[in-house]
Amino acid sequence: MSASSDKPPLTVRLAAPRGFCAGVDRAIQIVERAIARYGAPVYVRHEIVHNRHVVDRLRALGAVFVEELDECPADRPVVFSAHGVPKSVPAEAQARRMLYLDATCPLVSKVHVEAQRHFEAGKEIVLIGHAGHPEVIGTMGQLPEGAVTLIETVDDAARFQPRDPANVAFATQTTLSVDDTADIVGVLKARFPEIAAPHKEDICYATTNRQEAVKVVAEGSDLLLVIGSANSSNSVRLAEVGRRAGCPAHLIDDASALDFAWLEGARQVGVTAGASAPEDLVQALLARLGERYAVTVETVESARETVSFKLPRGLSEPA
Ligand code: SF4
């Protein structure tokens, strides 16, 4: 990054990994390829991923975002978002003979399958997650009403009264705080030692890696800037993790939301991006910082990611 000598120095500690995960990348490609294959408009039920810039760009290409299926005409394709949908949604699409494409992240689908398996084994299921988040609505909607109890906090876990304490299982939302969830799971395991746990963590690799990276970057930084939208669960968690590590943190949609007053006295600034935030927004933030500071960028890498997911059949080749 260019520096002029009259600008104060600023070191940017850039977290790696950051930004797009494999599930977000796949979901965006599904919408892009559906538009290329079927023409506009292609309907998308709920924001495909929780990022305003991604949604605006896809809208400009011909995507129409709606909240419910009944807002879509039956003769246009519809894509279900990366967060997953209750079973009633594909059932309704089938009943209306709609062409639908499911962009549910495979790691969310894995949680759906686990919940189903526990239900079939007769277990009472606890889902750790945030009320109202579309992923939670989708996971709870895999099973009949009342089959899943939502737990949001350690207090909820302490109060939960199962029908049979020896026959309980838990699953989690994929984008939770790793540390908070460990506390909640700790309470459940202490109360119900036989509780069935996921085979492998439900909190996904991308959430885990981004939170780990933020901890490393926050240490020694005077300020943390997280690029992401306010409705993005994993982005909100990144700012929280930074604050818990003792670093003041701001979640911003893009560089235009940066307030230079936050940087008063700062020498080292951590920068990261949520799993739904595109890298060009990070680069634009670095450029904006460069307008006032002589910026040196240090990439702080705490993990390497090689995960990628296949596209659904029929979309794996560009139109
Ligand atoms: Fe999938 Fe995790 Fe990305 Fe969500 S954050 S889309 S669960 S990889």
* Interval 238-251 mean pLDDT: 97
CATH of 106-191, one of 3.40.50.1860, 3.40.50.880, 3.40.1010.20, 3.30.428.10: 3.40.1010.20
pLDDT at 5 over 80: no
User: Does residue 71 have an active-site annotation?
Assistant: no
* Joined tokens for residue 93: 């699409």
**Over the chain, what is the mean pLDDT?**
96
Distance of alpha carbon 316 from the chain centroid: 23
Distance (angstroms) between ligand 1 centre and the Cα of 302 equals 18
Distance (angstroms) between ligand 1 centre and the Cα of 128 equals 16
pLDDT for 118 equals 97
Strand order in the sheet with 223-227: 249-252, 223-227, 268-273, 9-16, 294-301
Distance (angstroms) between ligand 1 centre and the Cα of 276 equals 9
HSE-CB for 208 with a 13 A CA cutoff: 14
Which of 108, 172, 173, 309 most suits a substitution to test ligand 1, by most atoms within 8 Å of the C-beta?
108
Residues with CB under 6 A from ligand 1: 21-24, 82, 105, 107-108, 174-175, 204, 206-207, 234, 275
CATH architecture for residues 22-102: 3-Layer(aba) Sandwich (3.40)
Q: Which atom from ligand 1 is nearest to the alpha carbon of 49? A: 6
Helix locations, 192-263, DSSP H: 205-218, 233-244
Question: Is the backbone of residue 233 left (phi > 0), alpha (psi -120 to 50) or beta?
Answer: alpha
Distance between CA atoms of 14 and 167, rounded to whole angstroms? Answer: 45
Q: Which of the residues 135, 152, 212, 264 is marked catalytic?
A: 135
* Interval 123-136 mean pLDDT: 97
pLDDT exceeding 90 applies to what percent of the chain? Answer: 95
Of the pLDDT bands very low, low, confident and very high (cuts 50, 70, 90), residue 1 is: low
Q: What is the pLDDT of residues 150-181, one digit of tens each?
A: 999 999 999 999 999 999 999 999 999 999 99
Q: What is the pLDDT of residues 197-217, one digit of tens each?
A: 998 889 999 999 999 999 999
Q: What is the pLDDT of residues 285-308, one digit of tens each?
A: 999 999 999 999 999 999 999 999
Same fold, 9-20+205-301 and 106-191: yes
The domain segmentation of the chain, as residue ranges, is: 9-20+205-301, 22-102, 106-191
Of the pLDDT bands very low, low, confident and very high (cuts 50, 70, 90), residue 316 is: confident
pLDDT for 199 equals 85
Of the pLDDT bands very low, low, confident and very high (cuts 50, 70, 90), residue 313 is: confident
Long-range Cβ contact pairs of 199-202 (< 8 A, separation 24 or more): 199/114, 202/110, 202/111, 202/114, 202/171, 202/172, 202/173, 202/174
pLDDT for 319 equals 63
**What DSSP element (H or E) covers 70?**
none
| 179: CB partners within 8 A, 6+ apart | 241, 244
Distance (angstroms) between ligand 1 centre and the Cα of 70 equals 27
Of the pLDDT bands very low, low, confident and very high (cuts 50, 70, 90), residue 318 is: low
CATH topology of domain 9-20+205-301: Cobalt-precorrin-4 Transmethylase; domain 1 (3.40.1010)
